[in-house]
Chain A
Amino acid sequence: MVEIRSLIPRRLMLAIAVVCLGVATSSSLSGRLFAGEGDDEKYLRSPDSIATTEAEMKPYTQKLRDTEISFDMVPIPGGTFLMGSPPDEPNRGEDEGPQIRVKVDPFWMGKHEVTWDEYDTWRLELDKRLRQFAGRETDNIDKIADAVTRPTPEYTDMTFGMGHDGYPAISMTQLAAKMYCQWLTAKTGQYYRLPTEAEWEYACRAGTTTAYSFGDDPEKLDEYAWWYGNSPEGYQKVGLKKPNPWGLYDMHGNVAEWCLDQYLPDFYSRFDADKVHAFPLAIPTELYPRVARGGSWYDEEPELLRSAARAKSDPDWKIQDPQLPQSMWYHTDAEFVGFRVVRPLNPPSEEDIKKHVLFPDIPEELIK
């Protein structure tokens, strides 16, 4: 798909350098991830995006510098919930139990799935091009954002004719989604990452305990979700269906959404059922499988779109990539996977980032 035979080593070295440099040399989180605090104007920050307590958290809109593109974030209150599905939930998967009690800290979450407009600003370096056209000098913010590795160009059209502006970005690897978050962090001066599987389900449920955030009746799916039953030819523009109780759109369907976790079928059984667990995360150690949640336009069975349903990545997701080594940026055959970003109220320490692999991790087989 993407011709990367001799780009790989160089790109990889750059990616590794970015990660290692950060861990080894910078003394503070802000020094590594973005240029500095207190520069709201340059970052185009909304005052509503500033909060130090949960009570202060508001919805906000973040603009991307040099573009006319913005995205909306919605506050998700902290709380405790039951993760997974009960044994009597119809058509559930074995991997959804036993249910565990999870404590989730407050965060903001993307109101919508990340769109091609946002994603291509990074992927295709359109921000750099627009800055150049506008004649604006490169500043410290740009320098850090520009240093984040970007994907090699795609070999074919990655929208597969399903639409671009306003439609969700798809077919990226989890690595690419994570790298986007790193760039977004540098670009906005605020810490963004993928959600953990627990955070994702918590936000999807939005306080509900039913199979879907709108109840148990799959007949109502058409009001809330794009799935094979109403969109067999592809994804749809984000935000056209009804939101969940916390104001998040397309959590069920449209495109499945990358989480941070390694997929472990027995993950929940590893936790003590009597306790409440904070920040459960299956730290990835293998490239496959990893978790994607929410189901998509490509799923024919309504149960695959339930709040607790878990999907896992697979090497088949790259089956039509004819190059060897295959691209680390694209899943040629996963036109159903996208992502949305979260921003924790309390950004993690440098140590936590390292420990939880919140930064892009380069798969070992690609490093050799």
Chain B
Amino acid sequence: MSNPSRRDFLKHSSVAAASAGVLASVGSRAFADSDDTIRIGLVGCGGRGTGAAVQALKTAGNVKLVAMGDAFADQLDNSLNNIERQTRKDDTAHVAVDDEHKFVGFDAYRKVIGSDVDLVILATPPGFRPLHFEHAVANGKHVFMEKPVATDAPGVRQVLEAARVAKEKNLKVGVGLQRHHQPCYLDLVERVKNGEIGDVLAMRVYWNGGGVWEPRRTRDEVASEMEYQMRSWYYYNWLCGDHICEQHIHNLDVGNWILGGYPVKANGMGGRQVRTDKRYGEIYDHHAVEYTFADGRTMISQCRHIRGCWNSVSEHGHGSKGMVHLSSNPRSCRIEYANGDVYQFKGDTKTPYQIEHDDLFAAIREGRSYNEAVNGAMSTMTSILGRMCTYSGKELTMDEALNKGRSVMPPNVADLTFESTPPTVPGEDGSYPIPMPGSTNVLES
């Protein structure tokens, strides 16, 4: 805590990273502003989008936030307030969002992307991501987008196609799977890839916790069913993807990273046992999935939103010569070798949420290729495959899930209004239809 050596190291290393970035930016003029300023826009002004905007603004060199968009005006104003407060002391962070560049409504993304920005941050509920990403790429914008990047297979296919176009156009794309930028992960995964624990035979990955925020509005406080779901988007599959997709993607992604690919099939079970009140929408409160990779190796996965149970947010690799234990808490990251030795990570604890932006913006300034979209899409699909298995109760291959997985989105997603009907609506008693294993069909018929 007050350990001077570690604190000094932390400060020292961030200073070093910052100055490297500044040097690298010299001479680059490839941006809309005449100087080296990167102009950015924010689409989706919740807590995460707000945090991402601040991190983008705090990267090395001049960054200017010029446009913001959200479905809700109150959310946008709070966000702008917070961004201004958090960046006040940073000389190269510029917040210049006038009233004409605050866009509210379902179509706000088009206006932000059309606002002469170099990069757009996409941080709305994930159901909208494919539409927003595709539009950003079509308009030649660099992108930072939060995970997951879709909530269904058609959305993943859309992102994969847009990722291909982004690559052609040499657009830079960062995806908010920040473990790929966290020093403890980078160190330990490299050790595993170098064979320190032999061949990795299996993975165990968990996001077991007590759940996330409570629903934010009662029916009396909203004007329509659409607003009701949008305010409490976590609890609706089309917006959130269920928590296996929205949260557990992080751990599944680490499993994919270590095993070096994506699963070819899966089976699983899940349900809604404790969090059953109708205000909790339609998502499950637990999923357990077994994934199989092409060479037969297995990834065992659990995610749970039930209070008072065994909790863990971590990934564990079992190798022929030892085990690797990973977690976003660097102090929990270690390798246990078969001979009894232990390697404990003791390096940099800088926040990966900043590093992922530092890396992306450095790539933009240096003109290096940088595209995390394909992995973001495939790890998203890994989580969606798991959900399709738990909802249907069937064993499914990645191939059929990706190519024949049913849409969960409204058909007219580009033209939604608060009067539109969401793809799921409650019955007379206010409760929503819940997916039933053995009956629910998740593939196109």
Interface residues of chain A, those whose CB is within 8 Å of chain B, are 2-7, 120, 124-126, 129, 152-162, 164, 232-234, 256, 292, 295-296, 298-301, 304, 311-312, 316, 319-320, 322-325, 333-337, 365, 368
- Of B258-266, B309-317, B415-423, the one touching chain A: B309-317
A336 touches B334 (CB 8 A): no
| A325 interface neighbour in B47, B247, B344, B353, Cβ under 8 Å | B47
A-side contacts of B207, CB under 8 Å: 156
Partner of A365, one of B85, B178, B311, B329: B85
Contact A324 B214 (CB under 8 A): no
Which residues of chain A have C-beta atoms less than 8 A from B331's C-beta? 160, 233-234, 298, 335
Nearest A residue to B274, CB-CB: A129
A334 to chain B, nearest CB (A): 7
Contact B231 A292 (CB under 8 A): no
Cβ contact of A161, chosen from B48, B75, B312, cutoff 8 A: B312
| Complex contact A301–B3 (CB within 8 A) | yes
Judge whether B2 and A311 touch: CB under 8 Å: yes
B229 CB to closest chain A CB, in angstroms?
14
Whether A152 lies near B213 (C-beta < 8 A) is yes
Interface status of B216 (Cβ within 8 A of chain A): yes
Asked whether, in the complex, the Cβ of B332 is within 8 Å of the Cβ of A160, the reply is: yes
Asked if A4 contacts B213 (CB within 8 A), the reply is: yes
A324 B50 Cβ-Cβ under 8 A: yes
> Smallest distance from the beta carbon of A178 to chain B beta carbons, Å?
20
Mark each residue of chain B from 64 to 96: 1 if its CB lies under 8 Å from any CB of chain A, else 0. 000000000011001101110110000000000
Q: CB-CB < 8 A to A365: which residues of B?
A: 85
Is the Cβ of B311 less than 8 Å from the Cβ of A164?
yes
Complexed CA–CA distance, A333 and B83 (Å): 22
Residues of chain B within 8 A of A319, CB atoms compared: 349-351
Pairwise interchain contact A298-B50, C-beta atoms closer than 8 A: no
Contacts of B78 in A (CB 8 A): 5
Chain B residues, CB < 8 A from A296:
1
Q: Which residues of A contact B211 (CB under 8 A)?
A: 153
B308 touches A161 (CB 8 A): no
B209 at the A interface (CB under 8 A): yes
Q: How far is the CA of A161 from the CA of B352 in the complex (A)?
A: 20
A311 and B1 contacting across the interface, CB-CB below 8 Å = yes
Q: Which of B51, B208, B344, B349 contacts A324 (CB 8 A)?
A: B51
Q: B329 to chain A: which residues have CB within 8 Å?
A: 160-161, 335
Check A153–B46 contact: CB distance below 8 A.
Answer: no
Can you name 27 A-B pairs with beta carbons within 8 Å? A3-B213, A5-B46, A124-B307, A153-B212, A154-B210, A157-B208, A157-B209, A157-B312, A159-B311, A161-B312, A161-B325, A161-B332, A232-B344, A233-B331, A299-B3, A300-B3, A300-B5, A301-B3, A304-B2, A311-B1, A316-B7, A319-B350, A319-B351, A322-B52, A322-B353, A324-B83, A333-B349
Shortest CB distance B163–A (Å) = 24
B249 to nearest A CB, angstroms? Answer: 14
Contact status B2-A312, CB under 8 Å: yes
A6 and B2 within 8 A (CB): no
Interface of A is mostly: loop
**In the complex, what residues of A have CB within 8 A of residue B208's CB?**
157
Residues of A close to B307: CB separation below 8 A: 120, 124-126, 129, 153
By beta carbon, the residue of chain B nearest A334 is B1
Cβ-based interface call for B371 (8 A): no
**In the assembled complex, how far is the CB of residue A335 from the closest CB belonging to chain B, in whole angstroms?**
6
Q: For residue A153, which residues in chain B have a CB less than 8 angstroms away from its CB? A: 209-214, 307
Residue of A nearest to B11 (CB): A316
In contact, A156 and B328 (Cβ under 8 angstroms): yes
A312 to B81, CA, bound (A): 28
Bound together, the chains give a CA A234 to CA B353 distance in angstroms of: 24
- Expressed in whole angstroms, the minimum distance between the Cβ of B262 and any Cβ of chain A is 24
Given A5-B78, A159-B311, A324-B54, 17 further pairs, Cβ under 8 A: A153-B212, A153-B307, A155-B212, A160-B331, A161-B325, A161-B329, A162-B332, A164-B310, A234-B331, A292-B1, A299-B1, A299-B3, A316-B10, A319-B350, A320-B351, A323-B51, A365-B85
Do B327 and A160 touch (CB < 8 A)? yes
Report if A3-B47 is in contact (Cβ < 8 Å); known contacts: A156-B313, A316-B10: yes
Determine if A157 and B313 form an interchain contact, defined as CB atoms under 8 angstroms apart. yes
Number of A-B contacts (CB under 8 A): 137
Which of B210, B231, B247 is close to A6, meaning CB atoms less than 8 Å apart? Answer: B231
The docked-state distance in angstroms from the alpha carbon of A3 to that of B44 is 14
- Within the assembled complex, what's the spacing in Å between the Cα atoms of A162 and B314? 12
Query: Bound complex: CA of A160 vs CA of B311, how far in Å?
Result: 8
User: Nearest-CB distance from A355 to chain B (Å)?
Assistant: 29
Interface centre among A129, A323, A334 (most CB of B within 10 A): A323
Query: Please, which residues of chain A bring their CB within 8 A of the CB of B349?
Result: 319, 333
Query: What is the CB-to-nearest-CB distance from A299 to chain B, in angstroms, rounded to a whole number?
Result: 6
**Which residues on A sit within 8 Å (CB–CB) of B327?**
160-161
How far, in whole Å, are A311 and B313 apart by their CA atoms in the complex? 29
On whether the beta carbons of B353 and A324 are closer than 8 Å, the reply is no
In the bound complex, how far is the Cα of B353 from the Cα of A164, in angstroms?
27
Given contacts A6-B216, A160-B327, contact A323 B50 (CB under 8 A): yes
Tell me the complex Cα distance, A233–B350, Å: 19
**Measured CA separation A292–B1 after assembly (Å):** 10
Interface centre among B3, B344, B349, B350 (most CB of A within 10 A): B3
A305 to chain B, nearest CB (A): 11
- Chain B residue at minimum C-beta to C-beta distance from A321: B51
CA of A162 to CA of B310, assembled, Å:
11
In angstroms, Cα B416 to Cα A143, docked, is 43
Q: Among the interface residues A155, A292, A300, which one has the most CB atoms of the partner chain B within 10 A?
A: A155
B213 touches A2 (CB 8 A): yes
CB distance from A95 to the nearest CB of B (A): 10
B379-403 vs A, CB cutoff 8 Å, 1 = contact: the mask equals: 0000000000000000000000000
The distance in angstroms between the C-alpha atoms of A129 and B277, with both chains bound, is 14
Give the residue of B2, B48, B234, B310 whose beta carbon is less than 8 angstroms from that of A322. Answer: B48
In the assembled complex, the CB of B381 is this many whole angstroms from the nearest CB of chain A, namely 23
A304 and B1 CA atoms in complex are apart in Å by 9
Q: Say yes or no: B1 contacts A3, CB within 8 Å.
A: no
- Report the bound CA distance from A301 to B51 in whole Å: 35
In the bound complex, residues from chain B placing their C-beta under 8 Å from that of A300 are 3, 5
CB distance from A310 to the nearest CB of B (A): 8
Compute how far the CA of A323 lies from the CA of B79 in the bound complex, rounded to whole angstroms: 11
* Docked-complex contact A256 and B82, CB < 8 angstroms: no
Most buried by B among A154, A161, A296, A312: A161
**8 Å CB interface, B310-350 against A:** 310-314, 325, 327-329, 331-332, 334, 344, 349-350
